[in-house]
Amino acid sequence: MGGFEIIESPGAPIKAWTRGVPIEESAMKQLRNVASLPFIHKHVAVMPDVHWGMGATVGSVIPTVGAIIPAAVGVDIGCGMMAVRTSIRAEHLPDSLAGLRSAIEAAVPHGRTDNGGRNDKGAWAAEPPALAADKWAVLKPGYEAVIAKHPKAAHQRGFGHLGTLGTGNHFIELCLDEEGRLWVMLHSGSRGVGNRFGSYFVELAKRDMRRWFINLPDQDLAYLPQGSEGFTDYIEAVNWAQTYALANREVMMDQVLGVLRQAFPDLATTETAVNCHHNYVAREHHFGKTVFVTRKGAVRAGEGELGIIPGSMGARSFIVRGKGNADSFCTCSHGAGRAMSRNEAKRRFTVEDHVRATEGVECRKDAEVIDETPMAYKDIDAVMAAQADLVDIVHTLRQVVCVKG
């Protein structure tokens, strides 16, 4: 399969790698709204995991000249994946994995933030680990430079959230590959501080649109023009948050490997797949011009570049190698993509359904994670087939432990 289809649009062309994968009408409308903007470069690329998002769809690639849309980058700036292969094999694992799951949950704070208050169970209760402290020492001056100009973008728990998971679809997993080797894979972003930065600049862009009387098909497509003070400051803030997100995943990975070393003292890491963003903006060269490429729920897949495409709590995940497809702006999907809203999943499925779908995976099996049940996501095999000309599969992983926020 693979290959793109053209979605009819009154604006820039829309090239969609969605053969055999449904797209809901609300997402189609958003794609056409984005394509109608005057600063789109060449076309909009759509990945097979596409679904409705704030302003722009998740699973879209938006190349722009002279402007950036903060809501298209989103508020989980730098959200992405990290995976490491270890020397542990399937036969080394205990019959019950509950103890490993509990130890990981104890080693990495997870759960919902309360905007930096004292009851923030998603932050470190005590001092963060030494690696987090070292990374924060490097990150702190950049943070202070941003909030010196924009004090309302400040967040109290930048240090306290470094090396923490968060909630929603963020996860830590232990997986086995096709040869029975154990991988650690995790998914998170820039946590509360990135959310604050993103939310602040989304509102700043909206205020500018109102001040300049610019009408948009969706207010969440408010943009910052290149050359404006807001644009320059946003670039500084978003670059900082993306660096923070990389560091956040590195600290979490170190904590999880520490747990595994307690059970397996001879543990070694034998391959690092990648530490990659899938909600971010970057300057890249495409079709003869240097542009800003916003990947909202999409992973860079340049020729030879490794990436990670997770399935869901009960579906396979993949380590992939990019093919450098120019029409996709060298991009692939960031996962299976939601097939329905969180509320619809909670309405439609029961705990019993979720238990059956996650059989063989040591994970939460209660009502609070029904919105993340595998049936709430698209068929990962169909998603992978639709992007066969974007990536090659290097490793196929199946989860044995999953920690959710």
pLDDT attached to residue 271: 74
pLDDT attached to residue 116: 46
Quick check: is 367 in a domain? Answer: no
Residue 205: CA count within 13 A, CB half-sphere = 31
Alpha-carbon distance 312 to 291, whole Å?
33
Alpha-carbon distance 392 to 331, whole Å?
12
Alpha-carbon distance 278 to 78, whole Å?
7
DSSP 68: E
Tens of pLDDT, residues 170-215:
999 999 999 999 999 999 999 999 999 999 999 999 999 999 999 9
Quick check: is 163 in a domain? Answer: yes
pLDDT attached to residue 98: 96
CA angle, 288 then 291 then 296, to 5°:
125
In CATH, what number is assigned to the domain containing residue 142? 3.90.1860.10
**Predicted TM-score (pTM) above 0.85:** yes
Range of the domain at 191: 5-339+377-404
Q: Which of the residues 161, 334, 354, 395 is marked catalytic?
A: 334
Quick check: is 368 in a domain? Answer: no
Smallest Cα–Cα separation from 252: which of 110, 359, 386?
110
Smallest Cα–Cα separation from 380: which of 341, 336, 343, 340?
336
Mean pLDDT in residue range 330-341: 93
Length of the chain: 405
Total tally of structural domains belonging to the chain: 1
CA angle, 390 then 393 then 399, to 5°:
125
- Is 277 an active-site residue? no
Quick check: is 365 in a domain? Answer: no
Tally DSSP H helices, then E strands, for the chain: 9, 17
Q: Helix/strand/coil (H, E, C) string of 288-345? A: CEEEEEEEECEEECCCCCEEEECCCCCCCEEEEEECCCHHHCCEEECCCCECCCHHHH
H helices of 108-172, in order, are: 130-149
Alpha-carbon distance 371 to 381, whole Å?
21
Quick check: is 349 in a domain? Answer: no
Tens of pLDDT, residues 144-169:
999 999 999 999 899 999 999 999 88
**3-state secondary structure (DSSP) of residue 153:** helix
- Token digits of residue 177: 């590959």
Quick check: is 315 in a domain? Answer: yes
Mean pLDDT in residue range 212-241: 97
Quick check: is 370 in a domain? Answer: no
Q: In the structure, what pLDDT confidence band is assigned to residue 112 with cuts at 50, 70 and 90? A: low
CA angle, 393 then 396 then 400, to 5°:
160
Alpha-carbon distance 40 to 65, whole Å?
7
